[in-house]
Amino acid sequence: MDPLMILALAMVVVVGGILILRLHAFLALIAGALVVGGLTGESALIAFGQSKGMTESESIAFSKTPTVARLVDKFGETCGKIGILIALAAIIGKCLLESGAADRIVRLIVGRSKESRAPVAFTASGFFLGIPVFFDTVFYLLFPIAKAMGLRRPSNYLLYILTISAGATMAHSLVPPTPGPLLVANETGVGLGIMMIGGIAVGGVACIAGLFFALLMNRFWPVPLRETPDSPLEEFRQWSDRPLSDLPPWWLSVLPIALPVLLIAGSAALQSLVENTGELNIVAQTVLNTLSRLGDKNVALMIAAAIALGTVVWMKRGARYSMVDSIQSALSSGGVIILITAAGGAFGGLLQQTGIGDRIEGLASSYQMSVLPLAFGVTVLVRIAQGSATVAMITAVGIFSGMASPEQLGFHPVYLALAIGCGSKPYPWMNDSGFWVVCKMSSMSEGEVLRSYSLMLAVMGFVGLGVVMALAKWFPLG
């Protein structure tokens, strides 16, 4: 069956199951993955296996693998990548709330930038944190602060959620050293320096558009701050009403958020420096190895979780407090997110096995149009088809890297790289792990996320493309 037909049927199953039949997202995604896997032919699976470096015999054996086995494999693969990360982030978030650290950070933001400027602060913070850190991790780190701010101004809860997302998601696709823009820059021959400068410039304008969209969306379709099992609003309100003297110091409050960012970013920066420098002495190599281990995202969040737990214990000293109950509550909430995210990863993985990427590449070569909107459009199609922004960028750059020279393009290839990055934004839906992170942590319904978060990313992607095309015309750099 044509991969595009399989994609259409899968979208009906997943979207219809959630929005019409009111199925739990986990069940709808698993059902969609089973439909995709069952309709994928052996020839498509053989071609997919060969594209992944399998031998002919291995590809044939892979094509005989039952659908359920392939689903389980992709489910486990996704869970292995994000399971520990989500669990640790859930613990950090819970501890930031219970210790008063989240409220302390909120009061610091309000005191320094005024509450009216908090959306700008959230957008900027999300963007710069998103340069070295994945979107999901940035959202985990900043969400407790947004929730605490939302308790103070419930009418602005959606605004805070969207502004965090706006900044982090654009950096994730435009500014190295995150994997997507890093690989695109390498494949198109663009230096990391000019890619970072271009990504910050285009992403900055797109973030402004996202901020205005968030303001409009919050004004006309606000979303209330809802109860969640791990942090009831009344309990949350009691935490936020504490006097400043009952809250941890600002440096300790910020530490569980800042430390993993510094470790992850520092490890990446040092590794890049070493690659350009060459051979190191024993002391420098030891330092590099140590920082590389500490800079692993799971290890960094383990350290942050330990600090956050220690802060709660210190702040609750002398009071009756059960750490076990708090961790159990956090993990119960995080476990649901892990299941849904892993199911989304399995759904996207089985879609990739249909050959949807090659099908879209064939469509792209059939139509003649300007290379920047064409690269953008192909990336959008791949993103919608399989869910991952990074995979969409990798697929698109594989199609267009052969024409990434100033002589062929008429402008610097950085604009091609940026157009691909912008194309990875529209339109996240149920096969995207980030969609489920935002949906479940914010307690918004799937429909609310589709009309706010997903639409905002689409607006930002198209605005970014407009900026890229204008820059390529007026400042070709070629």
Q: Which residues have a Cβ under 8 Å from the Cβ of 183 and sit 6 or more positions away?
A: 393, 394, 397
Read off the DSSP letter of residue 189: T
Residue 203, phi-psi category: left (phi > 0), alpha (psi -120 to 50), beta (remainder): alpha
pLDDT band at 369 (very low <50, low <70, confident <90, very high): very low
User: Cβ-count burial of 228 within 10 angstroms (0-12 exposed, 13-18 middle, 19+ buried)?
Assistant: middle
pLDDT > 90 fraction of the chain, expressed in percent and rounded: 19
Name, of 86-95, 109-118, 168-177, the range with top average pLDDT: 168-177
Sign of CA pseudo-dihedral 30, 36, 37, 39: positive
Average pLDDT, integer, range 349-374: 69
Residue 385: the pLDDT is 76
Under a CB-based contact definition with an 8 Å cutoff, are residues 10 and 37 in contact?
Answer: no
Is 303's pLDDT higher than 80? yes
Burial of 43 (0-12, 13-18, 19+ CB in 10 A): exposed
Enter the pTM of the model: 0.65
CA–CA separation, 383 and 180 (whole Å):
13
**pLDDT above 80: residue 277:** no
Q: What mean pLDDT comes out for the span 96-118?
A: 69
Burial class (CB in 10 A: 0-12, 13-18, 19+), 281: exposed
Is a pLDDT exceeding 70 seen at residue 278? no
Backbone angles phi, psi at 2, to 5 degrees: -60, 130
**Contact between 29 and 17 (Cβ < 8 Å):** no
Residue 367 in this model has a pLDDT that exceeds 50: no
Q: How far apart (Å, rounded) are the C-alpha atoms in residues 393 and 370?
A: 18
Q: What residue segments make up the domains of the chain, in order of their start?
A: 82-170+197-209+242-322
Report the 10 Å Cβ neighbour count for 446.
Answer: 20
Give me 456's structure tokens: 């905002």
Q: What confidence tier does 368 reach under pLDDT thresholds 50, 70, 90?
A: very low
The answer to whether 207 touches 459, Cβ cutoff 8 Å, is no
Return the pLDDT at 187.
Answer: 75
Q: CB–CB of 155/222 below 8 Å? A: yes
The predicted pLDDT at position 209 comes to 95
Query: How much is the pLDDT for 140?
Result: 73
Asked whether the predicted pLDDT for residue 339 surpasses 50, the reply is: yes
Flag whether pLDDT at 46 surpasses 70: yes
pLDDT at 104 over 80: no
Inter-CA distances, 27 with 336, 341, 447, Å: 12, 12, 17
- Which residue has tokens 């020279």? 405
Nearest to 469 by CA among 198, 72, 95, 64: 198
Least confidently predicted of 32-36, 131-135, 136-140? 131-135
What's the angle, vertex CA 383, arms to CA 460 and CA 262, rounded to 5?
65
Contact 291, 274 (CB under 8 A): no
Q: pLDDT tens across 221-267, in order?
A: 888 877 665 555 555 556 556 677 778 888 888 888 778 777 876 77
pLDDT at 77: 85
Residue partners of 138: CB distance under 8 A and separation at least 6: 126, 129, 130, 164, 168
What is the reported pLDDT for 383?
Answer: 83
pLDDT tens readout for residues 178-224: 667 877 887 788 877 788 889 989 999 999 999 999 999 999 888 88
3-state secondary structure of 427: coil
For residue 427, is the peptide bond before it cis, meaning its omega torsion is within 30 degrees of 0? yes
| Residue 314 C-beta-side C-alpha neighbours within 13 Å | 14
Mean pLDDT to the nearest integer, 411-421: 90
Residue 316: exposure state from Cβ atoms within 10 A (0-12, 13-18, ≥19): middle
Q: Is the pLDDT of residue 20 over 70?
A: yes
- Element housing 296 (H / E): none
- Does residue 302 carry a pLDDT above 50? yes
- Is the model more confident about 440 or about 235? 440
First to last CA, the chain: 44
Distance, in Å, from the CA atom of 457 to the CA atom of 425, rounded to the nearest integer, reads 5
Give the mean pLDDT of 310-335.
Answer: 75
What is the biggest distance separating any 2 CA atoms in the chain, rounded to whole angstroms? 72
How far CA 14 is from CA of 1, 29, 343, in Å, comes to 19, 6, 11
Average pLDDT over residues 275-281: 63
Are 83 and 130 in contact by the 8 Å Cβ rule? The answer is no
86 alpha-carbon distance from chain centroid: 12
CA distance 193 to 185: 10
